[in-house]
Chain A
Amino acid sequence: MSGRGRGARRGVLRVMWRERSAYGFLAPGLILFSIFTVFALLFAFYLTFREWNILEPEKPFVGLQNYQDMVQDEDFRRSIINTAYFTGASVPLGMALGLAVALLLNQPIRGRGLLRTLYFLPNITPFVVAAIIWKWLYNGDYGLFNFYLLKTHLITQPLVWLSDKNLAMPAVVLMSVWASVGFSMVVYLAALQAIPNDLYEAARIDGAGAWARLRYVTLPMLAPSTLFLMVMGIIGSFQVFTQIYIMTSGGPLNRTTTMVYYIYEAAFKFYEMGYASTLAYALFLLLLVFTALQLRLYRRADL
């Protein structure tokens, strides 16, 4: 080692000693973070190579067996499809409705504050409570959905919403859209109010009608919010769990078993921690593109 290198190292140590309070400030957060995030990630990765059943004393090393099982697991494939279906339906719907409400609320009308609060109310309802309410609304015998649909003769037989294999997922989607519209609305409203008036003036002078102004001024100016909402929505939807647990328990016939619900079952119903960790890493990989994009959005926002 050269003398200069040693000198530099001593210099670093001296700086570290001088700035020791910085390390002290970081310590509490860093210790918790190291255990519950960094170590947990490494430990989860280690688990993917083991058959780790809590109830068994032996936790044998199985190589890539968990990965092979995963690739061939029909139910897991089904859960990916279900999750994609849920995401593909609920995210665009929630965003489109949120945008529509925001555009209308951005007009100079009375009672804007009240209306905004009302649309936002589902968003501040705890998810568990929302799921309980909707489970009741969908009830086959007494639910309000059946009552009003029968009354208006839109259906002739009561539907069993959450127990019907073709209706269960749309029913969960509808509930999730209800819960998320308020969020998109608030984000879009903030963006709408940030669009400078000059742009509209200029468009008017150029002879743009209301429709053209919406199409060529408003929507392009909302693009960053749309991207933000889409990324957040996809990440959130891929992790959907609470509604599923309360409303359908993954049924009927696994039609609403989403990825996180499947991981939960593998880990805490069958106690296969190794296999469940493998599935969780698969979720991580599937989402990586979107979470990386999310991080970029946040970093770009750091002005």
Chain B
Amino acid sequence: MTAVVDRPAPPSPPTLAPKPRGPVWRRRAFLGFCYLVLVPGAILFVAPFAWLVSASFQHVGDIFSWPPQWIPKNPTLDGYKGFFGIGKAGELAEGSEGAWRWFLNSAFVAGSVTTLQLFFNSLAAYTFAKRRFPGRNIIFMVFLATMMVPPQVTLIPNYLVLKHVPFFGGNDIMGQGGHGWLDSYYGLILPGAVSAFGIFLLRQYMLAIPDELLDAARIDGAGEFKVFWKVVLPLCGPALAATAIFTFTYAWEDFLWPLIVVSSSDHYTAPLGLALFVVKNRTSWNLLMAGSVVATLPMVVMFLIFQRRFIQGISMTGLKG
């Protein structure tokens, strides 16, 4: 099974591909065939991406040129300047007012969601994995069962709940009259601040930590929170890292929830801002391409830094796909 949680066990030696056998020429021919398929395939896969980067450095007229320019003839930063409203080009950009803010919003929302989830998820996971108390199994089963519900079912009720949070966004004590937590950071962050799936993954991981370790800490006089914080959490490094990466990626890319909750451009996240920019401004493709590059960059950097964790974690979570 690939969906195996990686856990504190001695790493098994990597198995190598089968040793080459048979006549050398056949072996060589086969490897040549591999290259012949893989390299053009990779070029095709990267082409849309390369085009995006190239277009972001072109003048808007050049993007429409025929044949397309893969290497910009007159490279320019106008797209970036225009999108972020820097200098003269910025004044022309319609629909990208305060675009820099969208990225800060995305970073803030994704960062908050990740931090809150890490804390709440691991606390709950530890409790389910290592504590015995009445009601534990029932509560855990409820958590598990809800993992089967597609998020679209809770979308509408959550929208209504947020709309009617009392005392916020112009609401009275009955939650009427205003927009509540809609169009606010609370609305963007709180519904994603805990995840049954994250709790489940971390619990699986924590089950492998020997109880004797925790008991030893307790005998030494550590309180329950200290046992969790000082003994259990440090042992969960790999699992925490994997879930953090996925939560952050997911929150950074999330589109449907911000689309529903947010209405003012002050609270746009990067994906939402870009998507609505397409609608509002149908001509400035160079700005859009520049914005898209900036929105992708954090993901690429994160992937390159955490490549191994990414790949390890992907088979265990499958959050994307």
Contact = CB atoms under 8 A, between A and B. Distances in A.
Given A190-B311, A280-B156, 8 more contacts: A15-B134, A44-B157, A124-B249, A144-B68, A267-B159, A277-B153, A280-B155, A294-B147
Contacts of A41: 146, 149, 153-154, 157
B185 interface: no
Nearest to B43: A118
Interface string B235-259: 0000000000000010011011001
Nearest to B255: A242
A63 interface: no
Query: What is the predominant secondary structure among interface residues of chain B facing chain A?
Result: helix
Interface in B250-293: 252-253, 255-256, 259-260, 270-272, 274-275, 278, 285, 288, 292
B87 interface: no
Contact of A295 (B18, B31, B147): B147
A127 B253 contact: yes
A109 interface: yes
B256 to A, nearest CB: 6
Interface stretch (A68-76, A159-167, A228-236): A228-236
Interface string A212-248: 0000000000001100110011011011011001100
* Most chain B beta-carbon contacts within 10 A, residue among A43, A117, A119, A133: A133
A254 interface: no
B133 A16 contact: yes
A64 interface: no
27 contacts: A15-B134, A21-B223, A25-B131, A25-B225, A35-B161, A37-B146, A38-B146, A41-B149, A41-B157, A107-B30, A109-B31, A118-B45, A124-B296, A126-B296, A142-B66, A151-B67, A178-B48, A187-B315, A239-B151, A260-B256, A267-B159, A280-B152, A297-B1, A298-B147, A301-B4, A301-B204, A302-B5
A288 B148 contact: yes
B126 to A, nearest CB: 7
Closest 5 CB pairs of A and B: A291-B148, A128-B271, A19-B133, A43-B157, A40-B154
Given A28-B120, A137-B48, A284-B153, A16 B134 contact: yes
B46 interface: yes
Given A132-B292, A260-B152, A232 B49 contact: no
A108 B228 CA distance: 44
Query: What is the predominant secondary structure among interface residues of chain A facing chain B?
Result: helix
Contacts of A118: 42, 45-46
Contacts of A142: 63-64, 66, 68
A122 interface: yes
Interface residues of A, number: 113
A134 B275 contact: no
A115 interface: yes
Contacts of A133: 48-49, 51-52, 292
Interface string A193-219: 111110010001000000000000000
Contact of A108 (B17, B64, B299, B316): B17
A149 interface: no
Contacts of A37: 146, 149, 154, 196
Nearest to B120: A29
Interface string A130-152: 11111111000010100100010
B84 interface: no
Interface of A: 12, 15-16, 19, 21-23, 25-26, 28-30, 32-33, 35-41, 43-44, 47, 100-101, 104-109, 115, 117-137, 142, 144, 147, 151, 178, 180-181, 183-184, 186-187, 190-191, 193-197, 200, 204, 224-225, 228-229, 232-233, 235-236, 238-239, 241-242, 245-246, 260, 263-264, 267-268, 273, 276-277, 280-281, 283-284, 287-288, 291-292, 294-295, 297-303
Interface in B46-60: 46-49, 51-52, 55
Given A19-B133, A47-B157, A284-B150, A33 B143 contact: yes
Interface stretch (B32-40, B74-82, B90-98, B167-175): B32-40
A284 to B, nearest CB: 5
A208 to B, nearest CB: 12
B41 to A, nearest CB: 7
A284 B19 CA distance: 48
Contacts of A229: 321
B23 to A, nearest CB: 13
A26 B124 contact: yes
Interface string B286-321: 001000100110011011100100110011101011
* Most chain B beta-carbon contacts within 10 A, residue among A109, A195, A263: A109
A228 B191 contact: no
B127 interface: yes
A186 B5 CA distance: 15
Contacts of A264: 256, 260
B215 interface: no
B295 to A, nearest CB: 6
Contact of A228 (B21, B157, B255, B318): B318
Contact of A117 (B34, B121, B223, B307): B307
Nearest to A144: B68
Contacts of B143: 33
A28 to B, nearest CB: 5
Contacts of B300: 121, 124
B142 interface: yes
Given A29-B120, A107-B17, A125-B299, A38 B207 contact: no
A52 to B, nearest CB: 8
Contact of B296 (A105, A125, A228, A239): A125
A130 B45 CA distance: 12
